[in-house]
Structure 1
Amino acid sequence: MYNFVEQGGVNDSGIEEDPEKYQKFMERIEAGKLIEADDWMPEEYRKTLIKLISMHGISEVMGALPEKEWTPKAPTLKRKLGIMAKVQDEMGHGQLLLRVTEDLLKPYGKTRENLMEDLLNGDLKFHNVFHMKTKTWADAGLIGWLVDGAAIISQTNMLDASYGPYQRALHRICAEEVFHAQHGEAIIMALAEGTEEQREILQDSVNRWWPSLLMFFGPGSASTTGSSKQEITMKYRIRKSSNEELRQAFLDKYLPRVFSLNLTVPDDTLHYDEQEKKWIYQQPDWNEFKQIISNKGPMSKERLRLRQIAYENNRWVIEALSKEHSFS
């Protein structure tokens, strides 16, 4: 029923793969049973999870930085407290997900510290949207409303993920992301109902962020990048829907809300095809997308520099905890 990639050989980590175990593993997934950290799993499954969850976790950590920049500039004390709470949540999500990843890294002798080093040396990527500039307070609201809205659509697609620790983490994260989206929507509504200048700032924010929002879910097919990562995650029942299906779900949910506020999106080709039952839109520049996630985006260097400073300044905590653990 399944083609075993390694055909019973030894994979590139020196771990012997077993076709019979692989078959039972896939049957278990098909039956809806969860895989736990200590269970046998094929190398492709483990590496796919490591790449996906570590990118998700690091993106939560890096995603706190654009909003952190606006914490001292928030217009009221209430807004400051709201965005501070959101930043705190995002950092907590990152820690939770990196802990989940750490369990998967054990066969390779790696830890969360190695993941942070991978981020700083460019081996571990983070989400395209968090490489972008936040020029105005409207950007802080739009991140909560549309970026977190896109994240909810992407993450709820994996609430039934076959890997148990990730599934359980996602249930907690998605519940909190709903509050983040509501926080962002409250900022957007205040601007939309404000002065003409506030509405212009809001429209400008939508215009600047629209390409990044379309890129959020990744390319629509393997032919775009020569990759089949989304097909692999669907094969292993980590996710249910393709990138394009998720993007269409985002457009279905949020375009009516955008239009209801008398806002527009910068795409003259955008329309809903009644026959095909989907949105037709101008494709973003996927070559630019690859440049951005390769740390060549507008704010990539600055955000990575802030993370490196924080990592180096707090290295003593890691060292102290390591020494304490060695004596216990």
Structure 2
Amino acid sequence: MYGGGNTFEAQQMGGVENEDPIKLAEFEARIARGEKIEPNDWMPALYRKQLIRMIEQHAHSEIIGALPEGTWITRAPGFKRKLALMAKVQDEVGHAQLLYSAAETLGKPREKMIDDLLSGKSKYSNIFNYPTFTWADSCFISWLVDAGAIVNQLANSKGSYGPYCRALERICAEESFHLKYGHHCVIHMATGTPRQRKMMQEALNRWWGPMMHFFGPPDKASVHTEILVKWKVKMATNDECRQQFLDMYVPKIWELGLNIPDPNLKKNPETGEWEYTEPDWEEFKRVINGDGPCNAERLAVRRVAEERGAWVRKALLKPEAAYTTPLA
């Protein structure tokens, strides 16, 4: 049992209509005061449900997100790049472990989370379902995808759920090193030979659309945004995060002499907000729901890893069952 009898099964419930109004008022007052909610505290079922969904998807994204970059470890240009990329991929997998642990405090077992990932029930970030054709694609992920992740994670590290915030603080510290590594890789490509510049520009052309999808659908399409912001499950809306990313990184991309493949991208001098071509949200839905270029491939790799690691889990959890024959 978690949070005063609010079980994992209860997270399947809907809104707040059936919640105890006194407990709900106390809960919202604590959040308004800036207090952290801890695992054994009372919380509304919707709060628990949305936190599980968000933290679980974040964990899945970290572990799946290691795959498109991981394929470049053996092909990275030079020994130093190989070592740096290997360390980065290892960090991403470690982030997933931190996040699965944070989600478990809400009552959902890790095994169930992995099962839901492999079955396609649980989602993960759209952007990790695209192929990394060249080294420049890996560079884009290391810089700009990680930059987008930091925009989201820094905001949510100041949220209301203690275990998630503490996990994000450590993750953000490590991601800042990843960001510097990725920026260095992109600078090297963008200021290199004509062929390197061309590769980097082609990668930017391929990834800009998925990058605009990365922050999620526009706020007007979200049902729960208002209450999630009120409860500090989300500290910034999808549109706010997208605007912050554009504000921080469009000038940096232009500084490198790279062209962003959106002729409508410009900053409105009156509102201070970026205007851009609306992304293809139908593509986003297809990818999120399993019909992207690499969805099947990414999950197939995870299934193999799960099968190959079964003996390790068995040895840890049931040592007596780890051996098929008695020891001599």
Tell me, in whole angstroms, the C-alpha distance in 2 between the residues paired with 1:232 and 1:293: 23
Aligned to 2:252: 257
Query: 1:240 deviation in Å?
Result: 2.2
Say which of 137, 140, 143 aligns to 1:139. Answer: 137
* Structure 1 counterpart of 2:82: 80
Q: Work out the CA distance in 2 between the residues paired with 1:229 and 1:121.
A: 25
Q: Runs of 4 or more off by more than 6 Å in structure 1?
A: none
**Using the alignment, how far apart are the partners of 2:227 and 2:142 within structure 1?**
30
Q: Helix, strand or coil for the counterpart of 2:318?
A: helix
2:305 to 305, 310, 328: 310
Quote how far apart the aligned CAs of 1:238 are.
2.0
Instruction: Give the Cα–Cα distance (whole angstroms) in 1 for the partners of residues 307 and 12 of structure 2.
Output: 32
Q: Distance in 2 between matches of 1:275 and 1:313?
A: 57
TM-score, normalising length from structure 2? 0.91
1:314 to partner: Cα distance:
0.7
Q: Is the 8 A contact 1:60 1:94 kept in 2?
A: yes
Query: 1:324 deviation in Å?
Result: 4.6
Q: Is the 8 A contact 1:57 1:94 kept in 2?
A: yes
Is 1:297 the counterpart of 2:299? The answer is: no
Task: State the AA in 1 paired with 2:292.
Answer: G
Match for residue 181 of structure 1? 179
Instruction: Supply the AA of the counterpart residue of 1:214.
Output: M
> How far apart are the structure 2 equivalents of 1:88 and 1:136?
21
Corresponding residue for residue 22 of structure 1: 24
C-alpha spacing 1:39/1:186, structure 2 compared with 1 (3 Å): same
**Contact 2:11–2:46 at 8 Å: present in 1 too?**
no
Which residue in 1 is equivalent to 2:48? Answer: 46
For residues 261 and 31 of structure 1, the distance between their equivalents in structure 2, rounded to whole angstroms, comes to 44
Counterpart position of 1:234: 229
The CA deviation string for residues 248-307 of structure 1, in whole angstroms up to 9 with x for no partner, is 110111010110111001111111110111111001100110110111111110010000
Question: Does 2:289 correspond to 1:283?
Answer: no
> Matched residues in 2 for 1:90 and 1:240: separation?
23
Distance 2:184 2:81 in 1: 10
Q: Which residue of 2 aligns with 1:6?
A: none
Q: Distance in 2 between matches of 1:58 and 1:74?
A: 25
User: How many angstroms does 1:321 deviate by?
Assistant: 1.9
Q: CA–CA distance in 1 between the matches of 2:69 and 2:182? A: 11
Q: What is the deviation of 1:316?
A: 1.6
Pairing partner for 1:149 from 147, 159, 169: 147
Kindly indicate whether the alpha-carbon contact (under 8 Å) linking 2:243 and 2:273 is maintained by their aligned counterparts in 1: yes
Sort the Cα spacing of 1:13 and 1:293 in 2 relative to 1 into closer, same or farther, 3 A.
closer
Residues 193-208 of structure 1: pairs in structure 2 closer than 5 A: 193-208=191-206
Aligned to 2:160: 162
Deviations 1:133-159 (A, max 9, x none): 101001111101100000001111112
- The 10-residue stretch of structure 1 (276-285 or 236-245) with the greater mean CA deviation from structure 2: 236-245
String of CA shifts for 1:126-183, please: whole Å, max 9, x gaps: 1011011101001111101100000001111112110001111111000100100111
Shift of 1:201: 0.3
Code of the residue aligned with 2:297 in structure 1: it is E
List alignment gaps of at least 5 residues for structure 1. 1-9
User: What is the Cα deviation at residue 325 of structure 1?
Assistant: 10
Contact conserved, 1:160 with 1:238, CA < 8 A, in 2? no
Distance 1:236 1:228 in 2: 14
**Aligned partner letter, 1:238:** V
* TM superposition shift of 1:17: 3.8
Gapped regions of structure 2 (runs ≥ 5) = 1-9, 322-328
- How far, CA to CA, are the matches of 2:262 and 2:37 in structure 1? 43
For 1:78 and 1:287, the matched residues in 2 are separated by 40
Question: Mapping of 1:83-98 within 5 angstroms?
Answer: 83-98=85-100
Number of the residue aligned with 1:274: 269
Native 8 Å contact 1:248 1:279 kept in 2: yes
Percent identity over the alignment?
A: 47
| Counterpart-to-counterpart distance in 2, 1:255 and 1:68 | 27
- The 1-side partners of 2:223 and 2:156 are apart by 18
Using the TM superposition, give the Cα deviation of residue 188 of structure 1 relative to its aligned residue in structure 2, in angstroms. Answer: 0.6
CA distance in 2, matches of 1:238, 1:12: 17
Which stretch of structure 1 is more off in the superposition, 314-323 or 267-276?
314-323
